[in-house]
A and B are shown apart, each in its own frame.
Chain A
Amino acid sequence: MHSSTRCPRCSSTRSPEDLDRGLCPRCLLGVALSLPLRKSAQPRAKVGETQEAPGDRVGPFVLLEFLGQGGMGVVYLAEQTEPIQRRVALKLIKLGMDTREVIARFEGERRALALMNHPHIASVHDAGITREGRPYFVMPYVAGVPITAFCDSQRMRLSGRLRLFMQACSAIQHAHEKGIIHRDIKPSNVLVSEVDGKPSVTVIDFGIAKATDRHRAEPALLTSEGVLVGTPEYMSPEQIASGGRDVDTRTDVYALGLLLYEILVGVLPFDSGDRGRADVDEIRRRIVSQELPRPSTQLSLLPENGTESARNRRTDPASLRRALRGDLDWIVMKALEKDRARRYPSAHELATDLERHLRHEPVTAGPPGTGYRLAKFIRRHRAGVAFAISLMLLFVAFATVMGLQARRIVRERDRANREAEAARQVSQFLIGLFKVSDPGEARGNTIAAREILDRGAEKIDRELKNQPEVQARLMSTMGIVYENLGLFAQAEPLLKESLRTRRLVLGDDQEDTVQSMMELGELQFAQGRLPEAESSFREAREISRRALGEDHPSTLGATSDLAVVYQFQGRQAEAERLYREALEKKVRILGLEHPDTLETVNNIASLLYAQGRADESVPFARQALEGRRRALGPEHPDTLDTMINLGAILQSTGNLAEAETFARESVELGRRIRPDHPSTLVSINNLGRLLRKQGRLVEAEPYFRESVEALRRMLGDRHSDTLTAMGNLGNLYTSLKRFVEAGAILTPAVQAARQSLPPGHTVIGFTLMQQGRLFTATAQYRDAEKALLEAEAILMAAVGAEHSFTKQTWESLAELYEALNNPEKAILWRSKLPPPDKTAGIPSPPPG
C-alpha cells in the first residue's frame, strides 16, 4: 500500500493528500481547539482611548496574540527580546476597568502569584505599568492544552491520568497553604505541556482567586451583566447558594472533584442526554439539589456505554467501569459532597486517597450510608412525613423497588389532588381579598391554580405594601401552596421574604417568625437541601426555646422536624435523642393519644427498624397502632400505614404468624378504603413476599399477580415498576416450575425494558436476571449464561455490589455453573456472596 509519513509537529500519520497540501489536518484541528473563543471578545475601548492590539509594545514586550480574558484582565501572548528572548503571557488590566478598587484587586492577584513558588503554578516573572498607567504582569507562557484534551489526545490510561491530576492537587494545596483559593478550577485552567519529554501540569488564572485571610465581607464578584464570576458547571453548591461570598478551600476541593470526574469519565456529571438544553439555571439547580451519578454509572449512560471514553483510555467499557467502581467512585463522590463538611478537608487529602488507591491500599472514602442516600431522593410534604417514612421503612425492609415506586405514585397522585384543592382554596381566598374574579378576566373553573397564584403574588406585592404583617402572612400561605404544588423555585422567594418581613416588623422572638423559619426549613427539606434545612430548624428551635419556652408547640414542632432531618442525614443517634426528647414532652403536654404524639411514636419505630433494631421497634409500632386506632379510628389512613409497618417489623423479628395477621388485615382494609392506593399496593406486595418467604408459593401467586395488574392499570405496561413486578411474578412461576407462564411474562418484560428504558437501567438487569434463572431451570444454559452475565454487568454498574439484585445475580450464576458441572466458576461467584450468618438480623429479600 502507500507509504505514509508523520507530521513533524504532532507526529500523527499523514496521508499523501496531506503532503500535497503541506498541512497536517490534526494540527489544523488543534487550531480550533487551542485558541480562545471569540465569544468573550476583546474588550471594546472607550471613545478616545486606544485598544492595544497584536504588534503593540508594552514595556519591553511585543504583543503577539490575544489569549483570553478574565474578570478584570486581558491576557496576551507576548514576546520579550531584551535582555533575553522569550515568550510570555502578559496580563494587562482591562481598559475602562482601571478603577482604584479593580487595580487593588489586580495587584492582589499579582501579589498572590508572587507568593507562590511551585513547579505546577505559573508564577510572576515581572510586573510594570504601561505608559497610560495600566498595570500589567508577566507569567511564563504555557503552550499547554487543557488537561482533559491532553489525556484524550494521548489516550492516557487511568493511572497516568491520576498522576497528572495529582500534580494539580499539589499545586492547589500549595496555593491553599499560602492562603489563596483559586475558585475557578476547570480543564482550561489546568494546562498540560511537555517538560523534558514528560507531561507536566500548570495551573493558571488565579484571576478570581481570593485570599483566605480576608475576613471582611466582600461583595460577590459580579461582572457587568450581574453574572457571578466562575464557570457555572464548575461552581460548588456553596458558591451558588451564597452568591460567591461563602467559599473556602473546600470549594476548590469540590472543583477538583469535578475535574477528576471529567478526566476519568470523559463528561461531567451534569451531562445527560438532554445536555443541549441545560441552561445555567438548570445546571445550578442540579449542582445544588440533584444527586450526581457516580462516575461508573455515568459511564454506562453514555452512548454505546462509553465506548469512546474507554477507547481514549485504552480499554473497553466493561473494564473501565470495573476500574471506576469502588474506590474511584467513592473518592470522586466524597470530593463532590454537597455538604462541604463531608468532603476531603484539603486537596492534599484528596491526592493522598488517590495515592492509596494507586498503591491498592484501602481509601478513606467509602460508600455513602443508606440513610444518607435515601434522604436524597425522598421529598416530603409536611402532612406526608409519617407516610414518607413508613414507605422508606418498607423500602429498607424489602430492598426492592416497591417502596420507591409507591412513593412516586403518592407524589404524583397527591400532586394532582393537591392541585385541585389548592386551586379551590386559593381562588376563594384571593377572590375574597382582591376580587380577582373580575368578569372580564375570569375564565370560570378552568383557570389554573398556578395562574391565580402568580397573580396573587403580584397583588400582594403591590397592594399590601403598607400592611407588612398581612403581607407576610399571605406570602407564607402562598409559599406553602407553591411548595405543595412542587413549584419550589416560586415558593422560596415568598417564604424568604415573609421571614425577612416578620423579622423586621415583629422581631425574632415571635411565634410567627419562628413559623416562617420552619416553613423555609420544610421547603429546603423538600428540595433535599438538608444542611440548609438543618440550620433553619436548628435556629427555629433555638429561638423558640428561648422566646416561647421549652414546652411551646413551636419548640416541639421544630424539635421533631430537626429529628427528621437528622434521620435523613443518617445521623441516627442524634435523631433518636431528639425524637425521644420530643416524645417525652408531647406525652406530658399533649397526652399519649394526641395525633402529634403518635406521629413521633411511629417515627421512632421507623428509625429503630431502619437501624436493624426491629425488636426494640415492635413496642413503639404497637403503641402507635393502638393509639391511632383509638384516636383516629381503625380505618384512618394513618392507622392503616402503621399497621402495614407493624406487619413488616414483625416479619423481620421472625414472628411470621402475627405478621401475617396484620398483613392480611391491612390488605383487606386497604382494598376497601383505598383501592389502587400505593400503600395498598405495598401491603399486597408485602403479603405476597411474606408467603413466599415461608415457601407458600402457591398462596403467594395471586398477590404477585394482583401487584402486576394494579401497576399496569396505574402506570402502564412499560413503566419500570410494572416491569419489576413482572420480573418478580415471572420468577415465582419459575420456582413453581410453571415455565410456560414464566416465559410468557419474562420475555415481554425483558423486551419492554430494553425498548423503553435507557441502556444500563437497573430494571433491564433485574428482568434479565429473572429470565436467566428461567433459562437455567429449563436447561437452556447458553442463553442463561448470556442473560445472567449481562444482568451482572448492568447491575454492578447501576446499583453496585451491595444491592440485593446484584447478590441474587451472583447466586444465580453460581447455580447455573453448578448445573453445568463447573465447580470452579460456581465457587468464584459464590465467593462474592456474604456468608449467610452475616446478614442475620438485617432484613433481606427472600431468595428467589
Chain B
Amino acid sequence: MALEALTALCRTYWQPIYVYLRRRGSDREEALDLTQGFFTKLLEKNYLADARRERGRFRTFLLTALNHYVSNEWDRERAQKRGGGTPPVSIDAPQAETMYHHEPSHDDTPERLFDRRWARNLVDAGLKRLREETARREEAERYERLLPFLSGEGEKGYRDLAAELGVGESAIRVAVHRMRRRFRAILRDEVARTVGDRSSVDDELRHLFAVLGT
C-alpha cells in the first residue's frame, strides 16, 4: 500500500478509531491524543510493512495495530507529550465528539462501535464520491433530486418527480437505476481498497451490512 493511499484511507477512517477509544474509556483529550499519535506512528513507522504483509482486511489490521499502540503507549504512562511535526491527519475535535454522541446504541462493545462507525464512513465516502462525480458532469441538481431513491426506497415518488421534471416515469426509473449501479461500483471499489483482494469484497460488505443491522 503506498503511503499516499494509506494516508487517504486514514483520513476516511479516523472516526472509527476515535469512537472506539472513547468507548474504551478514554476522555476526549486522550482519545484525540491517541488517535493523532496512532496515525503518526502508523504512517511513519514500519507498521506500514505489516499492513502490506497482512493480507486480511485493513479494518481488522487497524484495530489490532491500534490496540498494540495503545497498550505500548499506556505502558509508557504517557509520560511525554508528543510535539513537533504536522500531524498527518487533521481531526475536527467538536465534530468527533458530536459524531460519538450520535451513535445510537450505547451498550455496544468498543469493537462493534468501531465496525459500525466504519460502515457509516464507508457509505459516506461512497456518497461523497458519487456527488463529486455528478458535480463534475454538471448534473448536481438532478443528483440531489434522485438521491432519496438511491437505496431503493420510495418508488412511488417516481411519478411526482417525473411530472415535475417533465420527463417520463421510465426515464426516472432508468436514471435511478444507473445511479444505483454507479454507487454500487463505487462502494465496492472503496471496500476493495481496504481488503486484501477483490474476492473478499462481498464478505466485507456482508459483515458491515450485518453490523449495521443490530
Contact with B along A12-29 (1 / 0, CB 8 A): 111111000011111111
Task: Determine which of A10, A25, A308 lies in contact with B119 in the assembled complex, contact meaning CB atoms within 8 Å.
Answer: A25
Binds A, one of B24-32, B34-42, B75-83, B95-103: B95-103
Cβ of A303 and Cβ of B105 under 8 Å apart? no
Q: A29-B209, A276-B197 are in contact. Are A9 and B153 (CB under 8 A)?
A: yes
Are B205 and A29 in touch, CB under 8 angstroms?
Answer: yes
* C-alpha spacing A65/B208, complex, angstroms: 25
For B104, give its contact among A13, A62, A273 (CB under 8 Å). Answer: A13
User: Is the beta-carbon distance between B210 and A23 smaller than 8 angstroms?
Assistant: no
Overall SS of chain A's interface = mixed
Query: A275 with B209: in contact, given A31-B180, A54-B173 (CB under 8 Å)?
Result: no
Residue of A nearest to B182 (CB): A38
B123 part of interface (Cβ distance < 8 Å): yes
- 8 Å CB contact of A12 from B127, B177, B207, B212: B212
Interface of B is mostly: helix
Task: State A734–B99 Cα separation when bound (angstroms).
Answer: 57
State which size class the interface on A falls in.
Answer: 35 or more
For A16, the chain B residues whose CB sits under 8 A away are: 102
* Alpha-carbon distance A274/B199, docked complex (angstroms): 12
Question: Across the interface, which residues of B come within 8 angstroms of A312, CB to CB?
Answer: 210
Question: Is A273 a contact partner of B209 (Cβ separation < 8 A)?
Answer: no
Query: B174-205: which residues lie under 8 A (CB-CB) from chain A?
Result: 174, 177, 180-181, 183-185, 187-188, 191, 196-197, 199-200, 202-203, 205
In the complex, the answer to whether B106 meets A1 with C-beta atoms within 8 Å is: yes
Q: Does A420 contact B (CB under 8 A)?
A: no
Q: Is the CB of A155 within 8 A of B209?
A: no
A531 to B195, CA, bound (A): 39
Q: How far is the CA of A56 from the CA of B174 in the complex (A)?
A: 11
A64 at the interface (CB under 8 A from B): yes
- Contact check, B209 vs A30: say whether CB atoms are below 8 A apart: yes
Q: Give Cα distance in the complex from A781 to B185, angstroms.
A: 57
Contacts of A53 in B (CB 8 A): 174
Query: Within 8 Å of chain A (Cβ to Cβ): is B213?
Result: yes
Is B174's CB under 8 angstroms from A54's CB?
yes
Report A220-269 residues with CB < 8 Å from chain B CB: 267
Contacts of B205 in A (CB 8 A): 29, 32-33
- Whether A153 is near chain B, meaning CB under 8 Å from some CB there, is yes
Check if A15 sits within 8 Å of B206, measured CB to CB: no
Interface size range on B against A = 35 or more
CA distance A26 to B150 in the complex (A): 12
**Which of B101, B181, B206 is close to A38, meaning CB atoms less than 8 Å apart?**
B181
Contact between B151 and A17 (Cβ–Cβ < 8 Å)?
no
Q: Contact mask B140-154 → A, CB, 8 Å, 1/0?
A: 000000011011110
Q: Which of B60, B106, B173 has the most CB of A within 10 A?
A: B173
Question: Does any Cβ of A come within 8 Å of B170's Cβ?
Answer: yes
Asked if residues B197 and A31 are in contact (CB atoms below 8 Å), the reply is: no
Give Cα A10–Cα B203 distance, bound, in whole angstroms.
20
Q: Would you give the 0/1 interface string for A779-821, flagging 1 where the beta carbon is closer than 8 Å to chain B?
A: 0000000000000000000000000000000000000000000
Structural contact, A152 and B210, CB atoms closer than 8 A: yes
A149 contacts B by Cβ under 8 Å: yes
A293 to chain B, nearest CB (A): 18
Verify B123–A25 contact, CB threshold 8 A.
Answer: yes
> Which residues of chain A from 346 to 396 have a CB within 8 Å of any chain B CB?
none
A446 within 8 A of B: no
B214 within 8 A of A: yes
With A31-B183, A38-B181, A308-B207 as contacts: A10 and B150 at CB distance below 8 Å: no
Residues of B within 8 A of A (CB): 55-56, 60, 99, 101-106, 119-120, 122-124, 126-127, 147-148, 150-153, 170-171, 173-174, 177, 180-181, 183-185, 187-188, 191, 196-197, 199-200, 202-203, 205-210, 212-214
Can you list 9 A-B pairs with a CB-CB distance of less than 8 A?
A1-B101, A12-B212, A13-B105, A14-B104, A29-B123, A33-B209, A54-B174, A54-B177, A276-B199
- Given contact pairs A32-B205, A273-B56, A308-B207, a sample of 7 additional A-B residue pairs in the complex whose CB atoms are under 8 Å apart: A23-B127, A23-B147, A33-B206, A54-B173, A153-B209, A267-B203, A276-B197
Shortest beta-carbon contacts, A-B, top 4: A276-B197, A27-B151, A4-B104, A26-B212
A-to-B contact residues, CB < 8 Å: 1-2, 4, 9-10, 12-17, 22-33, 35, 38, 53-55, 62, 64-65, 148-149, 152-155, 267, 273-277, 303, 308, 312
